[in-house]
Amino acid sequence: MKIDSSLAAVVTGGASGLGLATVTALRAAGARVAIFDLNPETGEQAAAQTGAVFCRCDVLSDESVDEAFARARAAQGQERVLVCCAGGGNAIPTARRDRETGEIRIFPSDRFEWVLQLNTVGTFRCITRAAAGMMTLDPIDGERGAVVNTASAAATEGQMGQAAYSAAKAGVLALTRVAAAENGRHNVRVNAVTPGLIYNEFLRKIYPDEFFDGYAENRSLVGRVGRPEDVAAVVAFLVSEGAGYVTGETYGVSGGVFPHA
């Protein structure tokens, strides 16, 4: 899928995982991309690898987000695309004794608040800046905005030990719907993706090999575990003109493991 080469995009959390795969897909489609990430080392490496621009950004800070958007706009103009991939939380435990450490009855409230801040409020911070800028675009010249938020299947599945992460990603879905309703009249579309199990090196470091055993054969309807590129391909579609009538929607990317009507 080709994208207008004048299109400028911002990808938060773009230095690794789903974010880096999204940057790669958008660059391959012809877009100019600014990587927002907290880690300067991996951010600069990702920028050099993809031909993107790196802007250090801490989504927990209003000031940092403002500075990152200012740097990105100075480098490549007003963004027409925002993809929010920055986030995280307590890892999905594999044994019951580990799951219990994330249960609501004992999970620390300060950690719960941090996960909400990182995922939901961090996404909110970036949408507010991008949407305000996208309102200045001229739809007569074909300049329309698109936002894609990264949520998770955990937002609707209620996974044990994942109260903070599930609540945070459910908040991202609610935020997506409201942002779509508010910004549609300003020619800005807002959608979300909800990945299931997506294989990457980060997960490999967290989970033992047996966590992945049998997943492709027994759960995935397409016979394999997901890859970051699978999510990036959906994101690339959602920001393209091919999805011009799509807004306020949630796209699952789980290999059929978490189907929703």
Active-site amino acid positions: 165
Asked if the structure places residue 261 within a domain, the reply is no
Contact 225, 214 (CB under 8 A): no
Contact 198, 20 (CB under 8 A): no
Domain count, the chain: 1
- How high is the pLDDT of residue 92? 43
Q: At what angle do helices 17-29 and 228-238 cross, to 10 degrees?
A: 50
Side chain identity at residue 136, one-letter code: T
Asked if the structure places residue 260 within a domain, the reply is no
Asked if the structure places residue 93 within a domain, the reply is yes
74, with CB counted inside 10 A (0-12, 13-18, 19+), is exposed
Asked if the structure places residue 2 within a domain, the reply is no
Q: Distances from the Cα of 225 to the Cαs of 90, 206, 258, in angstroms?
A: 21, 16, 13
pTM of the predicted model, to two decimals? Answer: 0.90
Asked if the structure places residue 258 within a domain, the reply is no
Asked if the structure places residue 1 within a domain, the reply is no
CATH number of the domain at 161, please: 3.40.50.720
Contact 16, 24 (CB under 8 A): no
Number of Cα atoms under 13 Å in the Cβ half of residue 126: 36
Angle at 180 between CA 179 and CA 183, to 5 degrees: 80
Asked if the structure places residue 193 within a domain, the reply is yes
Nearest to 17 by CA among 81, 87, 80: 87
Consecutive 10-residue runs of the chain (261 residues): their mean pLDDT?
78 96 96 97 98 98 98 97 90 46 82 94 98 87 90 82 90 98 96 84 63 63 79 95 95 71 47
Nearest to 252 by CA among 157, 171, 187: 157
- How high is the pLDDT of residue 225? 74
Domain that holds residue 21: 8-253
| Cβ neighbours around 69 below 10 Å, total | 24
Asked if the structure places residue 213 within a domain, the reply is yes
